[in-house]
A and B are shown apart, each in its own frame.
Chain A
């Protein structure tokens, strides 16, 4: 019994050390960046309607686990198609500190707007986070994915937008 306890204690110590090490390795809050700008829902929809390139809008929040899971996919999409598609992030019901930390951690170097009262997501008829919208030039909504978007769906929808 004593040997079992000793093994369990050793395992606990190793796991705790790993957890601490891992926490130390993750990017912590990079709060020194500028706060995200806000935009009115009317201006936002006008921006989409006036665009002559396709737009992908991702509604997200730093407290949303699924958003964290799809963020690296969006970063890859931006890296691959950022020159031909305008990617826009809308951070809803969040804090500026949380937003800055999330953007820094996932290196989401795209146009971002802060939407603390979900007014933009309401205008887009978004019902939760994450939600990703694909707009053709001129503002026609081609596809919307509620929930985590997977790599294949994202790639196919981007391919559709570029045709």
Chain B
């Protein structure tokens, strides 16, 4: 059993839950199904990402179904994102933008918790640094790159919680996608990896997020003009 991964997942869920509680206390929503939607999207994303990684790596999920649980062996970022998005689109098909706007800051906080969970997994370190806060291992210190990503994501979540009232419908979710992808993209050069980089997926996320912000803002403005 991957207890360290479980601890990271629980930290993510706790932060998402705390963010929703704050939003509820601020009177943003009284919906009770939002945590379920976040957990559902995470689990589906993880499962689809794991199946994608297994398939790409040459292990059939049908002949080795239990390998799905060896998450540490790899989760494909692209497949995971598509899985989560598909689940969200299906679950919130009747009121898509209000729902995704409501869960966006909590989802960012949850992602922050997942990244900060590197502390349990012992996998926070990235490239070598001389900065004083580097994670020291013998004579070498390394960037705590996963903690950088966690801080950026958490800052994004806090900003969206406090600014959501000033933003048009759909802009909160689009901004959250931009922040989530951007946080991974800017920290990616500090990570060490072996194979192909997931950076193109993050670029795609930023592009889709920025396009979403612009489209939703323009559409809201044109509605206001037509209304007046």
Instruction: Give the interface of A toward B (CB within 8 A).
Output: 18-19, 22-23, 25-27, 65-66, 68-73, 76-77, 80, 105-106, 147-156, 159-160, 163
Contacts and interface: CB of A to CB of B under 8 A. Distances in A.
Given A77-B194, A153-B123, A66 B60 contact: no
For the complex of A and B, the 3 pairs showing the least CB-CB separation, nearest first, are: A69-B73, A72-B57, A155-B192
Nearest to A16: B62
Interface in B139-197: 140, 142, 191-195
Contacts of B60: 22-23, 25-26
A65 B125 CA distance: 27
B154 to A, nearest CB: 20
B33 interface: no
11 contacts: A22-B60, A23-B60, A66-B70, A69-B59, A70-B72, A148-B70, A148-B73, A153-B122, A156-B126, A159-B128, A163-B128
B140 A160 contact: yes
Contacts of A163: 128, 140
B61 interface: yes
A124 to B, nearest CB: 21
Q: For chain B, what secondary structure do more than half of its interface residues adopt (helix, strand, loop), or is it mixed?
A: loop
A69 to B, nearest CB: 3
A153 B146 CA distance: 13
A51 to B, nearest CB: 20
A156 B118 CA distance: 14
B72 A150 contact: yes
A25 B138 CA distance: 46
Given A65-B70, A70-B73, A151-B74, A76 B125 contact: no
A68 B137 contact: no
Contacts, number: 90
Contacts of B70: 65-66, 68-69, 148
A68 B59 contact: yes
Given A152-B192, A155-B192, A159-B192, A105 B58 contact: yes
Contacts of B67: 65, 68-69
A22 to B, nearest CB: 4
B63 interface: yes
A27 B63 contact: no
B94 interface: no
Contacts of A73: 73-74, 194
A105 B67 CA distance: 15
A66 B63 contact: no
B66 interface: yes
A163 B141 CA distance: 12
Contacts of B64: 65, 68
Contacts of B126: 156
B63 A22 contact: yes
Contacts of A66: 70, 73
Contact of A152 (B58, B128, B193): B193
Interface string B122-138: 11011110000000011
